[in-house]
Copies of this chain bind each other. A is one copy, B any other.
Amino acid sequence: MKTQFIPETILYTGDQLCSHWAYEQYDLQGDSIVSFVGPCDVGKEKLVDLADRKRNKIIYSESMLHFIVEHFDLDLEKTIFRQKLLVVILMEKLMNRLHSSVIQRFGDDLFDGDRKLTVSIATLTPVSTKIHAGINISSQNTPVKTRGLIDYGLDPRELAEAVMNQYEVELMQTLMARAKVRGMP
């Protein structure tokens, strides 16, 4: 599992969910989690989430902290569990920094009261499964009520590094957990 924070601003368009994006852009070969800051603007035809597409939902944010994960297996159900784990880690890291339980998870989204903090999707490519999770930095001009890291006074990069390190640790624990239990009859 390779982790990397990209310091350049990158517009998230959904193209980052294509296979090998991290390899082609940043030479990260194999399973990886990459993070960067940038606006989010996914046109309808780029929407991976067909439920959003049906409802003409707009995914837009002036500035978000993005995570792009790629696992080179084809078990989408397993990657949806990994996606939940990534969102949970994000929630926990926020709560630790805010010393508050105000952040709540509904499915794969985080909320502060009725204000939405995140977007997230998991999908698959011909060779891998991929996750996008984004958390608002700015809460300005969003199509629904939101809050962002600026509202909490949190540093995106510090948060990104903490989330990526924890994600890497948890996946390693998962592999190790598999290797420490005897079978039952």
CA distance A75 to B178 in the complex (A): 10
Q: Which of A173, A181, A185 has the most CB of B within 10 A?
A: A181
Interface membership of A10, Cβ < 8 A: no
- Stretch from A34-42, A56-64, A79-87, A141-149 contacting the other chain: A79-87
Binary CB contact string for chain A from 46 to 57 against chain B (1 if under 8 A, 0 otherwise)? 001111001000
A97 to chain B, nearest CB (A): 10
A17-B184, A72-B175, A182-B48 known; A84+B170 contact, CB < 8 A: yes
A58 to chain B, nearest CB (A): 17
CA distance A64 to B29 in the complex (A): 30
- Stretch from A99-107, A111-119, A152-160 contacting the other chain: A99-107
A154 to chain B, nearest CB (A): 15
Are B183 and A126 interface neighbours, CB within 8 A? yes
CA distance A155 to B123 in the complex (A): 39
Q: Which residue of B lies closest to A177 (CB)?
A: B80
A95 to chain B, nearest CB (A): 4
A85-B81, A107-B173, A178-B80 known; A123+B30 contact, CB < 8 A: no
**Measuring CB to CB, which residues of chain A are less than 8 angstroms from any residue of chain B?**
17-20, 23-24, 27, 29-31, 48-51, 54, 72, 74-78, 80-85, 88, 92, 95-96, 98-101, 104-105, 107-108, 121-128, 130, 170, 173-185
The 3 closest A-B pairs by CB, nearest first: A126-B183, A81-B81, A101-B101
27 contacts between A and B (CB under 8 A): A19-B182, A19-B183, A19-B184, A23-B50, A23-B180, A29-B51, A29-B180, A48-B181, A49-B181, A50-B180, A51-B180, A75-B75, A76-B127, A76-B181, A81-B81, A81-B82, A84-B88, A88-B88, A92-B104, A92-B105, A96-B101, A123-B182, A124-B127, A125-B126, A125-B183, A127-B182, A127-B183
